[in-house]
Amino acid sequence: MLQSLFPQCGQTQTLESTYLALNLHQQAVKGDVLIYANYITSLDGRIALFDDALGELAVPKSIANGRDWRLYQELAGQADVMLTSARYFRQLAEDKAQDLLPVGSGDKYADIKLWRERQGLKAQPDVMVLSNTLDIPLAALEKVSDRQVIVLTSSQDEAKVEALERAGVQVLQTGEVTGSFIRQTLIDLQYRSAYMIAGPQVHSTLMQAKAVDELFLTTHFTFLGGTKVSGLVDVDLPQAQHMKLLSAYLDTEEQQLFQRFRYVG
């Protein structure tokens, strides 16, 4: 069970449907899009530690957990499109990715798939990949061939563009992949809800343009330490980004806090 801390205090509820009940796919006004991000972090602000076995930064196993993953899936279930980076597909090609892009398979997530069907949504969200290099393994793209894949890039490498287009990918080129360009492209493509699951670089790009609307943050009650780490934002911002707390739930079973924020500038 979860204990509500804000805006109601003291009420309890089940984990399942806590986020699915938000109907995020219906929150944007006509002609706009709701962009939301999601992270799990330790008490000392780490979203990733360097994994010697993988040779790169990864979500620490000591804070990753099935209860947080359930809510991750519920957020994916409400998305028209998921925003990710080329790094994810490189990890996917090397079997290093945390999981195939949701909505997940199996009985645990059958209710989410049924919910999407009842809402008139596609079986799986589309995928928008942000990449300046177009270093995207074509073999990895085959694993998401059941949905529309769109790539936003500043690369002018026409050979790579043509290879991606032959694989069925829609490639949109621009001088710089800014947060404003990402948001406007989503609107032009008539998406209403976009779930950002990329790392802090993409997060920062969206924040700098005030192009992201909400943040779902899981704080796991664990200190991780470390020097080769990543946080929610690892670049300079033009100004402080203020947030408004919309809800908070205490998960006493896993000792973590589920929080929903709105970016207010």
Q: What would you report as the CA-atom Rg of the chain, rounded to the nearest whole angstrom? A: 18
- Asked if the model's pLDDT at residue 97 lies above 70, the reply is no
> Which phi and psi (to 5°) does residue 218 adopt?
-100, 120
pTM value is 0.95
Query: Is residue 131 predicted with pLDDT exceeding 80?
Result: yes
Please state, rounded to an integer, the average pLDDT across all residues of the chain.
93
- 96 has pLDDT over 70: no
The whole-number pLDDT of residue 99 equals 63
pLDDT score at 100: 62
Across 113-129, average pLDDT: 96
User: Where is pLDDT greater, at 222 or 58?
Assistant: 222
Q: 44-76 pLDDT, tens per residue?
A: 999 999 988 778 888 999 999 999 999 999 999
Sheet arrangement for strand 126-130: 12-13, 2-6, 243-251, 256-263, 214-220, 34-42, 193-196, 81-85, 126-130, 149-153, 170-173
Q: Which of the pair, 255 or 236, is modelled with greater confidence?
A: 255
**Tokens 């990949």, residue?**
129
Q: What percentage of the chain exceeds 70 in pLDDT? A: 97
Query: In the block, which residue shows the tokens 């028209």?
Result: 80
Walk me through the domains of the chain, giving residue ranges and CATH numbers.
Answer: 2-263 (3.40.430.10)
Least confident piece of the model among 67-81, 92-106, 152-166, 192-206? 92-106
